[in-house]
């Protein structure tokens, strides 16, 4: 299956956190990272005052079913020091499954496509770097980005990975 994962960090060394998360995903025998977006500096999302985020999206190939992939992702987040205390709060690492082939899934733990994917410029702009399809839910990524009204909160970073 082809999947797209969003990665974000705004605690500690964000660049090192994103690199470590990508390396941990690459180390999984059932996952192959096939493309990585550029890095983007973004304003924090949500009502909690916090530092800006460093965000990216990676395209993967995986043999893992969605629930098992989520379990591996949660383990990587925990290994990298993620503590879930404040909803939409600061974090060392956040990894979200955005899309996984044409899987449509809604469970208490996981929704695919990600429920907020079309509302977040900080996800859509890096997704645009690696997304292979022409449309997402019937619109181009450019149309979704414009609809967010948040494109100015996402800045291409000088940092590289």
Structural domain includes residue 37: yes
Structural domain includes residue 53: yes
Structural domain includes residue 137: yes
Write out pLDDT tens, residues 72-131.
999 999 999 877 666 666 788 999 999 999 999 999 999 999 999 999 999 999 999 999
pTM (2 d.p.): 0.93
Structural domain includes residue 104: yes
Number of folded domains that form the chain: 1
Domain residue limits at 7: 2-156
Give the pLDDT confidence score for residue 103 in this predicted structure. 94
Write out pLDDT tens, residues 9-23.
999 999 999 999 999
Which is catalytic among the residues 22, 59, 91, 120? 91
Which is catalytic among the residues 82, 120, 129, 150? 82
- The CATH number of residue 40's host domain is 3.30.70.560
Active-site residue flag, 22: no
Confidence of residue 44 (pLDDT cuts 50, 70, 90): confident
63 vs 65: CA distance, rounded Å: 7
Active-site residue flag, 43: no
Active-site residue flag, 82: yes
Q: What is the mean pLDDT of the chain?
A: 93
Active-site residue flag, 91: yes
Residue 48 has pLDDT above 80, yes or no: no
Q: What angle (nearest 5°) sits at the alpha carbon of residue 4, between those of residues 61 and 112?
A: 110
CB neighbours (10 Å) of residue 49? Answer: 8
Structural domain includes residue 161: no
Closest CA to 74 of 54, 90, 93: 93
Structural domain includes residue 132: yes
Which is catalytic among the residues 59, 96, 120, 129? 96
């Amino acid at each position: 299956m082809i999947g797209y994962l969003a990665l974000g960090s705004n605690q500690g060394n964000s660049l090192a956190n994103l690199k470590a998360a990508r390396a941990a995903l690459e180390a999984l025998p059932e996952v192959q990272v096939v493309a990585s977006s550029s890095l983007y500096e973004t304003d924090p999302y949500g009502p909690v005052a916090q530092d800006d985020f460093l965000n990216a999206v990676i395209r993967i190939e995986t043999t893992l079913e969605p629930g098992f992939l989520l379990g591996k992702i949660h383990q990587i987040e925990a290994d990298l020091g993620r503590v879930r205390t404040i909803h939409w709060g600061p974090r060392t690492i956040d990894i979200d499954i955005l899309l996984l082939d044409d899987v449509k899934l809604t469970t208490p733990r996981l929704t695919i496509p990600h429920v907020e994917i079309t509302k977040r410029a900080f996800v859509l702009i890096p997704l645009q770097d690696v997304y292979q399809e022409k449309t997402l839910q019937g619109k181009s990524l450019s149309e979704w980005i414009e609809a967010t009204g948040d494109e100015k909160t996402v800045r291409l970073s000088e940092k590289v990975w």
